[in-house]
Each structure stands twice: as structure tokens, then as C-alpha cells.
Chain A
Amino acid sequence: MKLSSRYNQVNIFTSLIALIITGVIYYVVIHFILTDKLDKDLAVEENEINQYVKTYQKLPLPASYIDQQVHYKEVKEINQAREFSYTTYYNAKEQEIEPGRSLITTIALNDKKYVVTITKSRVESEDLVRIILFITLGITCFLLISLILINRFVLNSLWKPFYTLLNQMKAYQVSRMGKINRVPTKIDEFNELNDSAIAMAASVQQDYKELKSFTDNASHEMMTPLAVINSKLDSLLQTEPFTKSQGALLEDIYQAVGRLSRLNQSLLLLAKIENNLIPDLQDIDMKELLESKIRQFQELFEKDGLQLIHQLESCQLRMSKYLVDILMNNLFSNAVRHNHKGGLIEVRLQKDSLQLINTGRDAGLEGQLFDRFSKSAPSEGLGLGLAISKQICALYGFTIAYTYQNEKHFFTVHF
């Protein structure tokens, strides 16, 4: 739920309740006031009748006006208290029963006792109350509608800077060295948000840069000692004879050093691709390249008795020769390394995609295949091949995806 619609809900709900309550109070108060006025009028009439009786010692004529009627009724005993009450009366002119308010009182005249009923029409005051009610209702509706409209249009435009900023943050990618631009607004909160977002992006970028240059520098710095170890090992090897166990030790060291330097080079390469430091763009004929790769890997295919099926359409790409080479090497090496003896490798090149399909020892792979250092336990690889492949693809806007179907592993690159 959007903040504005939530705000709308609360706003409209409370306004509605407030308006209903005030409406009710309004109605009750007005009603009370009008009734009070009627009662006063009735009292005045009573007073006039009393005056008349006192002066003339007789009852005034029972008058019957349009909106006022006076009745007299002789009674023996006065057991009627003075009281106001709501009644109805017959309006002779309109020929209909109308609501009224009557005052029942008593009067004594020459030993006779009368009950006097003075009735006044309530129509006017009822009408007045009704009009007031309608006006109140009208104002309520108008208020609600204008509230909704304000919320819809004004709030939306008020929140605009927020959404602009939000979209920028969504699109922000630290690896692309993107920037968050200032959204012009006069609202303090948004300005503050804006500042914080910009500051955060800058500090994230700074950290990212430092981390990257750290990888780069660390790998570089490691190269020299590695070169020393390597050359010293080579020199040591020339000082034979060794015993057999010394030979085995040396071999193990060679393996480890070799692995370490490959690891180091891969990390450096990753850092370089991320920094887009490999600019040598050129037109690559993928069909030609793949044919030469297939030749290059022929020996490996044969060794494991792998059957190769290829289906190559012509495809032109513009990328670094160096990187496309690495990408193809990684994909082919994986297809060979994770295959079983007598397995199958299929290469399908189309105008906009390349697919490498291979049978394999493992069932479908799961998890973060393209993450750094993710690899199956028995794998001899460094666990960087696919991470590098993914980076290379990302650099040129390609996508690389993995699927597992019919006991085959599919690696698909969409150009």
C-alpha cells in the first residue's frame, strides 16, 4: 500500500467520523434551540391568555390560525401538570396532519377550571433543521471529494521528487560507477533524503573502489614473491640429484604454486574486467573462433572419448579478442572437465546466442554457480571460471544462464 493511499484512508475516515459527529451535534443543538424558541412562544401565548382572563374575566375565543391553535376544556379537578409535548395537529388550510408542539396548562376562571392546550406548528422549524442538515451533508460531501482530489493530485506531485530519487536508487549499480543526481525540491525531508542518498552512494563507491584496488594491488604484490618462489623452485630443481621423496615434495610445491599463480591471475583479470580496463574491441567472427577452439580442444575431447556435435551459424560480435578467448576457453574447459568418459558435447551457435550442452557426472547443479569460488567439491578448477565468464558477459551486455534438462547441462550466452 502506498503511503499516500494509506494517508488518504486515515484522512478520509477521520474526516468522515468528525463530520458525522459534528453533524449530529449540530442537529441536536439546532433542534434544541428551535424547540426552546417554540416553547417560549407557547409560554408567551399562555401569558397572553392569562392576561386576557385576568382583565376580562372570560376566556378568549379558541383561536385557530394556520400555525397556532388554542383549545379549552373544562375539567372538575386540576390534576394536569403544566407540560410541553410534541403532538400533531390538523392543518385545515393544507388539509393535512402536521407535526406540532403543544403546551398544556390550566387556568381557573370563576370557579371553573379549564385545561388549555396551545399548539404551534413545528413545520417551519422542522424545515429549517432539514435545510441545515442538507447543507451540512452537502459540505461534508464537498469536503470529502476535495480531500480525495487533493490527495490524488497534490500528494502525487508532492511525492514526485521521492519517486524520482527512488528510481535512481533502484537503477544504481555500484560496479557501473553510477551517480545519483540531485532532484530539485523545496521539501526539507526530500532534500535530506537526497543528500543522504548521494552521500551513501559516494561512500559505497569509495569503499568499492578501495576494495577493488585492494584486490588489484594485493594480486600485483603477490606476483613478485610468486615469481621468486617459482624461479627459485626452477633453480632448485636443477641441483639434482634428489631422492624420490624429495621429488614428490617438489612436485607438490609446484602444483600449489601453479595453482596460486593461476588464482592470482584470475583475480587480477576479474578486477580488470570490472574496471573495464580491457578496451581492445574488435570484430570477432564467432564461427571462425569456435572452429579454431574446437580444433584446439580436439585433443581433450579425444582423450575422454567425448563426442562433439556442432551446429554453427555465422555470428559477428564486437568485443575484446582476449576476453572472448577466455570466455570460450572457460566454457569449453568446463564442458570437458565436468563430462564423463564417452560423453557428449554440443555446440550451437546462432546469430544471437551460443549454447554449450554437455553430459556430466553430476546431476543438475544448484546454487550460486556464477559466484566466485563456488565449485563442486571434486572439481580441480579454481571456482573462478564461471565468475569470470559472467563478468565478461556483463561487460558486453550479454547474459549467461545455466539450465539442466534431460540429464544435460546447458550453458547459454545471449548476445
Chain B
Amino acid sequence: MKILIIEDEQAVLESILTYFTEEGNICEYASNYLMASEKIALYNYDCILLDLGLPDGEGLNLLEELKKLKKKDGVLIISARHSLDDKLAGLDLGADDYLVKPFHLSELKARVSAIVRRKNYDGHNVIVFNEINVDVFAMQTSVNEQTITLTRKEFDLLVYFLSNKGKVVTKNAMAEHLWGDEMDIANDFDFIYTHIKNLRKKLMEAGAKDYLHSVYGIGYKFGTS
């Protein structure tokens, strides 16, 4: 997928770039309004990561420009402003999602992947990973064409892992993804263990390889290695 990252904070920009750059992905960046405006006009992207607080302009105006250009790029707003107004204004102007800083890169990736999936496969939303097939729209999972039944949380976890395959995903990020950061149980990781244990068991019982690896107690990694 082709992604444009509009972010003025160099350090954050670099991290996102490193995290997103992998085979099949093309990442470009703009660190100010002008640059972003040019890139938006010139190219098409699967998803644009838009930081609202740019030094030379209001990020929300870029959304209006996109609208004027009648472009269908997916937009994810990332903002340090935890403001409901901004969120509503952004979503009103056609943004697909809104993520508040600070965020986990895995969460960002998962959201971007979701946006790109929604944009690209209208209604037919399937993630394929080796023998695992996940239909996000119908919420169905199959291993080697054999359907398995997952709970809602297990399904969410699997989609999350598939969006971040090959990456170490922390328990914090998973907890926040599954329960939201407002539930304030982010320190309680017993739930994560249970869900991961069950997910792994179900996948392996259906004949999938063991893709889930625990990483030093910090988190998990989903991948072939």
C-alpha cells in the first residue's frame, strides 16, 4: 500500500516510517502543510496519516483540499489534541479515523490497515496469511478452508496481529486495542494471556502453524520466524 505521512515531529515521523516500511509498502512523508498539499495534489495514496498541528497551516484544511480534488484517499488523523470537536470536525470533513497521540505504532498500523482494506475491497474484505483466511466484513476465520469459531475479542486480536505481522506487539497496545484506553484496566494483562492462549489453541487445532510467539514477557509477535 501507498502511504503519505504528514507529521512535523521528526522523531515520530521517523518511527512511523521505519515501522511502516516493509515489502509491498511505499511510504512518503511531508513535514509541513505546503509539502503535504503538493503531494496530495500530485499523487494518490491508499492512506494519509495526517497530523493536525502543522507549523504552517491547519491540518483540517488539507481534508478540505482533498475533498475539492474529489480524491478517495483514506485519511487517519493523528493529533496531540484530545479534542472531541477536532475529532468530529475531522470525521465530518471525510477523515476515516482519529487517533490521539501518544499512540502505539501497532495500533496505528492496525487502523491504517483497516482503512486501506475498507477502501480497496469494497465489501469483500479478506486478509490472507498463509493457511489463515480472515473475512473482516463477515467476521469469519478459516484455516485451510476449514471455518473456526472465534470469540469477538479473539477475532479482534487475530486481525490486530495480522495487521502487525512480523512486529512485536506489546501487551499494553493489545489491552488498549481490545478494551479502549478509557476502561483503565490497562495494567491488568491476565485477560490478554487468556485470549491469546485460546486463540493460539484454536488456530493450531485447526491445523495452522504456531505463529504466535511470546517476546520476553513484553508482548507477542505473529509471524513465521
A residues sitting closer than 8 Å to B (CB atoms) are: 220, 223-224, 226-232, 234-235, 237-238, 240, 242, 244, 246-248, 250-251, 254-255, 257-258, 261-262, 265, 268-269, 272, 277-278, 280, 296, 299-300, 303, 320, 322, 325-326, 329-330, 333, 336-337, 380-382, 385
| A303 and B191 within 8 A (CB) | yes
Most B CB contacts (10 A, CB to CB) among A227, A240, A330 go to A227
| A251 and B216 within 8 A (CB) | yes
| B185 and A333 within 8 A (CB) | yes
| A246 and B19 within 8 A (CB) | no
8 Å CB contact of B182 from A242, A246, A261, A329:
A329
- Chain B residues whose C-beta falls within 8 Å of the C-beta of A278 in the assembled complex: 84
- With both beta carbons as reference points, the residue of chain A lying nearest to B8 in the complex is identified as A224
| B181 and A231 within 8 A (CB) | no
A selection of 25 A-B contacts at a CB cut-off of 8 Å is A223-B101, A228-B11, A228-B15, A234-B105, A234-B173, A237-B170, A237-B219, A238-B19, A238-B168, A240-B215, A244-B216, A250-B218, A251-B218, A255-B172, A255-B187, A257-B102, A268-B82, A277-B83, A280-B84, A280-B88, A299-B191, A300-B185, A325-B182, A329-B184, A333-B185
8 Å CB contact of A381 from B85, B168, B184:
B184
Q: How far is the CA of A333 from the CA of B11 in the complex (A)?
A: 35
Q: Quick check: is B115 within 8 A (CB to CB) of the other chain?
A: no
8 Å CB contact of A333 from B83, B172, B184:
B184
- Chain A residues whose C-beta falls within 8 Å of the C-beta of B101 in the assembled complex: 223-224, 226-227
CB within 8 Å for A234 and B216 given contacts A227-B9, A268-B82, A280-B84: no
Chain A interface, >50% SS class: helix
- Chain A residues whose C-beta falls within 8 Å of the C-beta of B168 in the assembled complex: 237-238, 240
Q: Quick check: is B104 within 8 A (CB to CB) of the other chain?
A: yes
Q: Quick check: is B137 within 8 A (CB to CB) of the other chain?
A: no
Within 8 A of A (CB), among B13-39: 14-16, 18-19
| A385 and B184 within 8 A (CB) | yes
| B216 and A303 within 8 A (CB) | no
- Chain A residues whose C-beta falls within 8 Å of the C-beta of B181 in the assembled complex: 262, 265
Q: How far is the CA of A380 from the CA of B185 in the complex (A)?
A: 9
- With both beta carbons as reference points, the residue of chain B lying nearest to A303 in the complex is identified as B190
- Chain B residues whose C-beta falls within 8 Å of the C-beta of A269 in the assembled complex: 82
Q: Quick check: is B204 within 8 A (CB to CB) of the other chain?
A: no
Q: How far is the CA of A261 from the CA of B104 in the complex (A)?
A: 11
